[in-house]
Every structure is written in structure tokens, then in C-alpha cells.
């Protein structure tokens, strides 16, 4: 098959995968309806720009059909939750033009949540997309990996070098395995922060590639936040880093909102702009009701992604569960 590599998210997609998978058991009766509406809102927004395939349980199909536009294809399968960025595979391409799907052996973010059905989603997507199924001995999630498609990856140690996922495995081993499966020539490791959220600090809430050499990074200015110190540390590491081609990284910051709408606010609420999703011709991004910060984030994204439409969505239900738009989507690159 030749050498595999994971393309940048901004490269053309064949489709976006999503999962209509929240349950009352995980989300609670009060939050569940709103989370389902948020998922459909994201799917409908992406479907304006590229095909969307939404996984759905058979018993939820009628509701999904009601909430989703006709442009969203529904495919029935079992699942435990909605986070397809983590449960789905990392899609890769070969230098010979084949599609592959790397299964990162999802284990509920270190056994924190039921995952028996979600553990099978990566294999299901590989089969459904016609991709070559690629196994690895590393446990992790797509949300913990960010790539520029040209040899550089950013990965959080708190996620991958963690005994709840890869006990006894060194960073060197994990780096070698991910290099073999995903193709980066250089990995920039960020410390992240373990034990504060269910993911143990995924990269896609801290740093994202805009293009090779340009990274947009989160800045939490609230000294009371557990993310305050870690975002400052990440910025220092990124400013000193070079990519696989020896290029000094240009760092642009996106500051978290100072205020959020109160209806779904809570300790797990993920209020940050970094968890956007880049699809064909658009950037799908959150807004949180802080008019000044929302507008600043949109302006920055429009500047960073010229030629793409920036669509901002209210995703407070999903954010209340600690996730975002990127967490709920998975791109299948065009072969």
C-alpha cells in the first residue's frame, strides 16, 4: 500500500462522519434533547458544504430524520456516545492514493465511560468507507492528535503517555508507532493536563494547524481556571518549536470567552474557540454569547482561513458535556 500519512483537515474531504449517539444514561434527561439538537445543527451546517453521514441507532432514526436536513445521510449502527473524533478512525492516505483507517483502540478515555460499542466504530467506518483497516498497539483518540499533513504533528502527553491508555509504554514507543501509522516526521509534544476533563487534555482544545507553519492556540486568561497555566506553557513551547521542515511556527491565539450563557453552564462546560471544524469551503465554529469574544474569534478565523465561510453555531448542550464541534466530527479525506 505504500507509506501512510494523515492529511491536514483543510485538504478536500469526501465526507464528514458524525454520530447521533447521546443517551439519557450518559447525558441525563434534561440535557439530552438539547445535545441532539446541537448535533443536528452541526450536521446541517456542514452539509451545506460537503456530504455528511450520521451514524444512528435504529431506535433513534425517526428523531434524527426529523432534526436533520435531507442532505444528511443516516446509517444505522450501535454506539455508546457521540464523540466520533475519538471513537472513529484517523483516516489516512497512502502515497499510492489509497484510503486507510487507523484504529486507535478507543477505551473510553482510560476506562472512564462505557465503550463496548464505541470501540467497534472505527472498524465499522473503515468497512463502510472502503478503507484499509489499520491496527496499532497504541491506545488514544483522534482528538489528541493534530497534524499539518506535511510531516508535523502536535500531541498531548497527558492523553497518550498515560497509564490509563498505554501502561508501560514510553513516549518513544508511542511516537514510533504513531509515526508509522500516521506519517509525521516530527511530533511536538505538549504536556496537556490529566485528570481535569474526561479526555485528559486533548490537543484539539489547545492547538490547531491552520496550514504548515501556522498554529492557532488557546489562551485562557482566567487565573482561576485549571487551563490558565497550561495554555501559557503550551504557548511557550509552540513559540520555540519548529516544524518537520525546520520552519519556526507562527502562533496566533484565540482567547476564551469571558462570559457564557448561563442555562447550561457548569464545571464541565468547554468554553473555547479552538475546537472548530474545517470542511470543504467552510470553518464551523462555536459561539458562546460573549458578543465581543465571539466576534473576535470569527474575525480571527476569517483572517486565518481566507476563502472559507466561517459559520458560528450555538452548541451549549454539547459544550456542557465537555466537548465541541471538532469532537463531534470526523473527516474522510478525498482520495
Return the active site residues.
327
CA-based nearest residue to 203, from 169, 152, 153: 153
Per-residue cell: 10: 483543510
Please, are residues 234 and 156 in contact by the beta-carbon 8 Å criterion? no
Maximum pairwise Cα distance, the chain: 52
Distance CA 106, CA 119 (A): 5
Distance CA 127, CA 132 (A): 8
Per-residue cell: 141: 483518540
Distance CA 325, CA 44 (A): 12
- Map grid coordinates 501512510 to a residue: 4
Q: Tell me, what DSSP letter sits at residue 113?
A: S
Q: What DSSP assignment string belongs to 252-313? A: EEEEPPS---STT--TT----SS--EEETTEEEEEE-S-HHHHHHHHHHHHHHSTTSEEEEE
Per-residue cell: 116: 463496548
331 SS3 class: strand
Phi, psi of 225 (to 5 degrees): -85, 140
Distance CA 154, CA 189 (A): 6
Please, are residues 216 and 208 in contact by the beta-carbon 8 Å criterion? yes
Amino acid at each position: 500500500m505504500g507509506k501512510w500519512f494523515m492529511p491536514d483537515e483543510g485538504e478536500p474531504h469526501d465526507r464528514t462522519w458524525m454520530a447521533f449517539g447521546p443517551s439519557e444514561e450518559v447525558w441525563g434527561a434534561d440535557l439530552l434533547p438539547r445535545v441532539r439538537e446541537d448535533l443536528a445543527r452541526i450536521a446541517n451546517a456542514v452539509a451545506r458544504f460537503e456530504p455528511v453521514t450520521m451514524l444512528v441507532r435504529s431506535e433513534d432514526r425517526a428523531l434524527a430524520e426529523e432534526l436533520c436536513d435531507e442532505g444528511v445521510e443516516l446509517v444505522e449502527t450501535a454506539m455508546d456516545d457521540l464523540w466520533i473524533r475519538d471513537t472513529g478512525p484517523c483516516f489516512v492516505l497512502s502515497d499510492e492514493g489509497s484510503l486507510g483507517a487507523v484504529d486507535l483502540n478507543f477505551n473510553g478515555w482510560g476506562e472512564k465511560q462505557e465503550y463496548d460499542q464505541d470501540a467497534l466504530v472505527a472498524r465499522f467506518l473503515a468497512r463502510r468507507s472502503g478503507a484499509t483497516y489499520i491496527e496499532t498497539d497504541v491506545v488514544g483518540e483522534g482528538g489528541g492528535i493534530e497534524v499539518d499533513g506535511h510531516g508535523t504533528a502536535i500531541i498531548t502527553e497527558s492523553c497518550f503517555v498515560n497509564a490509563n491508555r498505554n501502561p508501560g509504554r514510553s513516549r518513544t514507543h508511542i511516537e514510533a508507532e504513531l509515526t508509522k501509522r500516521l506519517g509525521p516526521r516530527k511530533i511536538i509534544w505538549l504536556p496537556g493536563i490529566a485528570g481535569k476533563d474526561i479526555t485528559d487534555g486533548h490537543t484539539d482544545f489547545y492547538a490547531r494547524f491552520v496550514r504548515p507553519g501556522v498554529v492557532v492556540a488557546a489562551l485562557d486568561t482566567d487565573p482561576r481556571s485549571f487551563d490558565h497555566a497550561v495554555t501559557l506553557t503550551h504557548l511557550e513551547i509552540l513559540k520555540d518549536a519548529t516544524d518537520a521542515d525546520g520552519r519556526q511556527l507562527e502562533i496566533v491565539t484565540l482567547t476564551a470567552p469571558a462570559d457564557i450563557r448561563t442555562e447550561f453552564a457548569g464545571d464541565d462546560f468547554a468554553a473555547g474557540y479552538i475546537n472548530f471544524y474545517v470542511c470543504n469551503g467552510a470553518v464551523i465554529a462555536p459561539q458562546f454569547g460573549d458578543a465581543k469574544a465571539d466576534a473576535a474569534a470569527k474575525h480571527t478565523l476569517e483572517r486565518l482561513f481566507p476563502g472559507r465561510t466561517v459559520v458560528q453555531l450555538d452548541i451549549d448542550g454539547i459544550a456542557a458535556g465537555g466537548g465541541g464541534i471538532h469532537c463531534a466530527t470526523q473527516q474522510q479525506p478525498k482520495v
